[in-house]
Structure 1
Amino acid sequence: MPPRTPPPRNQPPRHARQAPPEPPPARRPPVRHPQARDHGLDLFDDRTQRPARPRRPRQIPPDESPTEILAPVEDDYYEDDYYAEDDFEGFEDGYADDERAEPEYIGAGDDDEPPRKRARTKKKRSKPLRWLIALTVLGLIAGGAWVGISAIFGYDDYPGTGDSDVVIEIGQGDSTNAIGTALKNAGVVASSKAFVKASADNSNVLSLQPGYYVVKTHMSGSAAVAKLTQPESRVGVLQVRAGTQLDDITQPDGTVTPGVFSLLSKASCADLNGQSTCVQTGDLRKLAGTADLAGMGVPAWAADIAAKSTDPRRIEGLIAPGVYDVKPGWSAQDLLGYVLKSSATKIQAAGIGASTSAQGQDPYHLLVIASLIEREGVNQDFEKIARVIYNRLGKNMRLQLDSTVNYLLDKPVVTTTDADRARPDPYNTYVNSGLPPTPIGSPSANAIQAALQPADGDWVFFVKCEKNGLSCFATTQAEHQQNIALARQRGAF
């Protein structure tokens, strides 16, 4: 059996202890210090102890000694705020010794140190570790912030205005970031951010149109912005107006209105590092007469008919009005194939497809009729002109349209001479019945719609009778002659 721990100082052995005398009635019973009760500390110790919240006393095993033991005084009303210096008065006269409860046994070793003090010591020992962790975290945050700042604000940029010419494409709806990426991929700028940052100072970047642009490799962001926003930097623009035919037209004053072949040749031109990229009109015309049209994107309903001829005019009307972006450097096959394929989409969107029919006409001949409507009048009269054509075809009357006579003559005027009207060519509707073999120009979507849905009426004549291009319509020859006289009075022709 291990030796018993000796009693605390100033206390007699348990077997010699006597019951304390009855305390004076007027004296307040002393309150035992919580730490003394919990840890067996000597209340006469000079060390200052912070009062702690009282705890429920541990149960002391019953002593086998016959000596009477006084139970400790319990008072639940005492809280931290109630402890004061007066509560500890009288402990020095020995009375407190008689009144205090049975002391607890105090073990040797580290447990002699109060828990609060041990926690405080542990906390002090952990401060260097906490500082080390804090500094490490701050270092990581600072490093991450630097990386983030570099990612946001830092970027590579070339210093010069560029080296060699290169063509880049801006797509429909491309943002500034997308344009910068395209420039970076083409080797124009060192980073897309170099272009984006430089674009912030030039609002013209926001008005860049889709298409092809000539820039240079190894340009600074600001130099790339300046180059792109110059009008001459955009190349490969092909604009086909409604009514334009494949070949050029010579105007009465001697000027030349370029046809589709000439427009396409001009759009293919760019000067890249001293080399021209132009495709000649002769190469385009030759290809138009010999190429596999279906393989170049022409719809089957048109390719089957056009393939029967080797005349370059067989693709007339199959190039729809609109704006096309062609890349300088493409071959004649690439150029013509791209325009024909894109036009097929436009024509179908206008209303003519493989299964389209109207007034007893198939898709290809509806396209021919639409081209006649386009060349014979203005938009306000399109439906009426369509009705005249259908009425004449229904009556097996020759169309007698001056526009068809002038087509092979490459003349822009509507009127013709007797000699012109007597020329025996397949497009002369004064000589030949029915429709010409091909369209005579590029019909607009409005002309196509008029061919599909003509106006109601029994007119079989019309003549331009207003200077603004409007026509007068008649059902008889007599009415038609009156309209001709009126047009002359008004100076319409």
Structure 2
Amino acid sequence: MDRDPRPDGDGRDGDGRDGDGRDADGRDGDGRDGHPDGDGRSGAPARGRRAPGRARRSGVLLLAVAVLLVAVVGGAVYLFRSLTSAADFEGAGEGDVIVRVADGDSTAAIGRTLESTGVVASVAAFLDAAEQDDRILGVQPGSYQMRSRMSATAAVERLLEPDARVGQLEIRGGVQLDDTSAPDGTVAPGVLTLISRATCATIDGADSCVGVEDLRSAMAETDPAELGVPSWAQEAVSAADPVRRLEGLLVPGLYEVEPGRTAVEVLQGLLATSTARLEAGGIVAGADAIGTSPYEVLIISSLVEKEGITPDMPKVARVVYNRLQIGQRLELDSTVNYPLDLQALRTTAEDRSTPGPYNSYATAGLPPTPIAAPGREAVAAALDPEPGPWFFFVRCQTDGTSCFAETFAEHTANVQLARDNGAF
């Protein structure tokens, strides 16, 4: 009897596959369709892929989430910076404020001063601004005219402007308290005028200065000890003409005058600085060593300052001491000139014959006060005069060099030499 070669009679092999190796439902034995695209499905996306519409929706969602995260993070950073950044004002400020930078102040110390006076809102903001300009390291001690409520950047810029610095005073050697006039009509400002100028500052649009007459009154009417006159000078200063009593006590050099102070306060500050300089230079110990008083050394120093150029100062000092020792009149034109409104290099016979405490042609000994501000070299010469027998000197060279003599005959010859050289 004929039999179907397929044992199950359904035309399939015993494993349920067609003879071509495919399942009856058309799938290969590995579970994939027999389509040439090999993706195992017909008309459906491959496993692991999303449909195009769904992919687009997912991308938009991810982008929205990313944007939201950026916004949240950015807002948090802004909030953090707002809460932690240094407080600062805006703009160039308002009104006027005088601030003081002390010797040795660091940038941070300057910032603290500015913050405490209301110039800047915070030290931190000032330091941030200062880091942008290395010139801030060159700010010198002294007084500066600033404004209230300045931005830190504006404050740094203002400190670096030349006209911000106020209260600077320079006294040069040979300058006396009062203004002096020369025959050519020029006027040399005296120490009091220089001090008055240094006190000036603009406060809220108005100039504020301590006047010369205010300074003169403070000098004349205030007790010398209260003004700060050193103890070694108080007796002589008290006995001097009140309007001349501080002559020579303010030695040459640079000073800082804080605007806004009274006349008495200004003089007290200047005397404290000058006295410290004099005593540091050894005037007290040096005077004791040569058997004289510090105030007499100061007077002699002022004569030396006015009469000789620096190389000649020790010899000029020796002439003064030699004459004082034998009671001979000093006969110095500088002392005759001192009280005169109009001063000339060579005094007149009338001036030299007019009696007075400063006329060393008519009066023996030292004048009652110094006649000018003596410099360091002049003080050193008065403390350590050059040994020698000289009693006379005259400027015999056009550069100011003097010729010294022991006898009057030698001096007469030097005077003729000075005339010949055009120096007399």
TM-score range, shorter chain: 0.7 to 0.9
Tell me, yes or no, if the aligned pair for 1:262 and 1:281 is still in contact at 8 Å.
yes
Taking the aligned partners of 1:273 and 1:418, their CA distance within structure 2 comes to 54
User: Is residue 395 of structure 1 aligned with residue 326 of structure 2?
Assistant: yes
Which sits farther off after the overlay, 463-472 or 435-444?
A: 463-472
- For the Cα contact (< 8 Å) 2:240–2:369, is it kept in 1? no
Q: Distance in 2 between matches of 1:181 and 1:405?
A: 53
Contact preservation (8 Å) 1:239, 1:324:
yes
TM-score (norm 1): 0.67
Q: Does 1:183 align with 2:114?
A: yes
| Contact 2:178/2:191 (<8 A) preserved | yes
Q: Match of 2:292, as an amino acid?
A: Q
Matches within 5 A, 1:20-99: none
Match of 2:163 in 1: 232
Deviation at residue 204 of structure 1 after TM alignment: 2.9
Among candidates 354, 375, 396, match of residue 444 of structure 1: 375
User: Is the Cα contact below 8 Å between 2:286 and 2:383 reproduced in 1?
Assistant: no
Query: Which residue in 1 is equivalent to 2:44?
Result: none
- Which one of 260, 263, 279 corresponds to residue 210 of structure 2? 279
Pick the aligned partner of 1:194 from 125, 139, 157. Answer: 125
The equivalent position to 2:149 in structure 1, one of 218, 238, 255, is 218
Aligned to 2:194: 263
Partner SS for 1:409: coil
Deviations 1:441-487 (A, max 9, x none): 11112111111111010000111112221111111112112211222
Residue 305 of structure 2 corresponds to residue 336 of structure 1: no
Give the drift of 1:403. 0.4
| Distance in structure 1 (CA, Å) of the matches to 2:370 and 2:342 | 16
Aligned to 2:387: 456
Residues 176 and 466 of structure 1: is their aligned pair in 2 closer, same or farther, counting only changes over 3 Å?
A: same
Q: Tell which has more relative contact order, 1 or 2 (C-alpha 8 A, sep 6+).
A: 2
CA contact (8 A) 1:243 1:371 kept: yes
1:408 to 1:253, Cα distance in 2 relative to 1, 3 A:
same
User: TM-score, normalized by length of structure 2?
Assistant: 0.78
Query: Aligned residues: percent identity?
Result: 47
Question: What secondary structure sits across from 1:438 in the alignment?
Answer: coil
2:89 aligned with 1:158, yes or no? yes
Secondary structure, in 3 states, of the residue corresponding to 1:408? coil
Distance in 1 between residues matched to 2:410 and 2:285, nearest whole Å: 40
**Distance in 2 of aligned mates of 1:187 and 1:315:** 38
Q: How many residues align?
A: 348
CA drift of 1:289 comes to 1.4
Q: CA deviation at 1:357?
A: 2.4
Deviations 1:26-50 (A, max 9, x none): xxxxxxxxxxxxxxxxxxxxxxxxx
Q: Distance between the aligned counterparts of 2:112 and 2:356, measured in 1?
A: 56
8 Å CA contact 1:189–1:219 kept in 2: the answer is: yes
Residue type at the aligned position of 2:163: E
Cα shift at 1:411: 4.8
Which residue does 2:245 correspond to in 1? 314
The alpha-carbon deviation at position 394 of structure 1 amounts to 1.3
C-alpha distance in structure 2 between counterparts of 1:485 and 1:456, whole Å: 26
**Counterpart of 1:396 in structure 2: which amino acid?**
G
Structure 1: 5+ residue runs without aligned partners? 1-145
The answer to whether the Cα contact below 8 Å between 1:351 and 1:448 also exists between their aligned partners in 2 is: no
* TM-aligned CA deviation for residue 314 of structure 1: 1.3
In the other structure, the counterpart of 2:140 is: 209
Q: 1:466 aligns with which of 391, 397, 408?
A: 397
2:174 to 236, 243, 249: 243
Q: 1:244 to 1:229 in 2, by over 3 A?
A: same
Cα deviation, 1:68-118, whole Å, max 9, x if unaligned, reads xxxxxxxxxxxxxxxxxxxxxxxxxxxxxxxxxxxxxxxxxxxxxxxxxxx
Unaligned runs of 5+ in 2: 1-76
Do structure 1's residue 488 and structure 2's residue 414 form an aligned pair?
no
> Would the alpha carbon gap of residues 353 and 359 (structure 1) be closer, same or farther in structure 2, given more than 3 Å must change?
closer
